[in-house]
Structure 1
Amino acid sequence: MTLTIRKADQQDKSVLHRLGAEIYRAHFAHLWQSASELDAFLAADYGLAQLESSLSDDNVSWWIAENAHPVGFAKVTWSAEIPNSDLSGVMLNKLYLHPAETGSGSGKQMFDQVVTLAREQQRPVLWLEVLQQNRRAQQFYAARGMKTIREVMFSTASQQSCRLHYGNGSVRNNAC
């Protein structure tokens, strides 16, 4: 089935709310030690009010991937500073697919769409974060020419995890 990638608007906030929680839990719930911290994280990222605000932000775009129904999404911030560096560029905040779509080529199609959009806006730097435990995503982005540019810690009340910043820049700073 053909994958369609379309820009999300305010009418899609319920779809993003549902997909965000469903897909994130399917891929990453096992990494969380506290169910309440996971719930708080999901509410902060995919709550209806948060999505409404994000969908209204001119510096942010959400994209929905669909075949017969929505199967994934991407969030892009068009101008974001790479923390602790003098670089800024397009940040691919999220690129998530339903587990049944993983490995289907849909992620590549979505990533290529983001790269095309960044090039059209003449934005030379593209960067993103990947959990250190997410080896599959690391391989995916490395295969597309992205390189680890730094490591940063992410902390909650009960745990810490390392996130890797990937990009086409050349900053290197390890914190993990």
Structure 2
Amino acid sequence: MLTIRKAGPDDAALLSEMGYASYSHHFAHLWHQQHELQAFLQQEYSLNTLQQSLQSDVSDWFIAQDHAPVGFAKVSWHYTGEGDSLAGTLLHKLYLLPGKTGKGYGEQMIAEIERRAKSRGETFFWLEVLDANPQAYRFYLRQGFTHLKDTVFSTPSQQSLLHILGKSI
């Protein structure tokens, strides 16, 4: 049985380990420069970054566990994109560990985050997904999200197209 719990400060090391493992497994092949990948991982999943993020009032991290951790998510509540008309719960991250996809965990995590967003009075749920990740794109469409627009994520050596998806809740 999957349980999804809000992460606390004591979970920083676990989230760091899961972040490095899951992101590297699913996305390392998309990076042209290894040093840019390592800088990104450090920026997103270093222990210090996670300790600070876990103390935020606007974002929450969640850990999904079966018998052991299977994945995690990060959301920001009442989030408005810069210069954007999008406002609501932003799903920053939803990652499953290697070997844990295709088991229904992602659907359960989305449903739980949506439930929590509604309980906070949110009416909109949105996210960004890489164009180079068509499997995730199709997954989110199956969860009721629709394509709203595209944007670009840039590093010094490359650009990646991001699809912005959203749905009313």
What is the TM-score of this pair, normalised by structure 1?
0.92
Cα distance between partner residues in 2 of 1:124 and 1:79? 10
Cα distance between partner residues in 2 of 1:110 and 1:161? 26
Instruction: Give yes or no for the alignment of 1:64 onto 2:32.
Output: no
User: What does residue range 32-71 of structure 1 map to in structure 2 within 5 Å?
Assistant: 32-71=31-70
1:150 deviates by: 1.3
1:80 match: secondary structure: strand
The answer on whether the counterparts of 2:3 and 2:64 sit within 8 Å (CA) in structure 1 is yes
Q: How big is each residue's C-alpha offset from its partner over 1:113-169, in whole Å with a ceiling of 9 and x where there is no partner?
A: 011001111100110010001111111110111011111111101111111111026
What is the TM-score of this pair, normalised by structure 2?
0.96
Q: Give the match for residue 30 of structure 1.
A: 29
- Structure with higher RCO (Cα < 8 A, 6+ apart): 2
Instruction: Give yes or no for the alignment of 1:112 onto 2:130.
Output: no
Q: Give the match for residue 14 of structure 1.
A: 13
State the number of aligned residues: 168
| RMSD (CA atoms) | 1.0
1:56 match: secondary structure: coil
User: What does residue range 63-142 of structure 1 map to in structure 2 within 5 Å?
Assistant: 63-142=62-141
Q: Give the match for residue 174 of structure 1.
A: none
What are structure 2's unaligned runs of at least 5 residues? none
What are structure 1's unaligned runs of at least 5 residues? 170-176
1:86 deviates by: 2.5
- Identify, as 1 or 2, the structure richer in strand: 2
Q: Give the match for residue 150 of structure 2.
A: 151
Moved over 3 A (4+): none
1:7 deviates by: 0.7
The answer on whether the counterparts of 2:22 and 2:96 sit within 8 Å (CA) in structure 1 is yes
The answer on whether the counterparts of 2:128 and 2:164 sit within 8 Å (CA) in structure 1 is yes
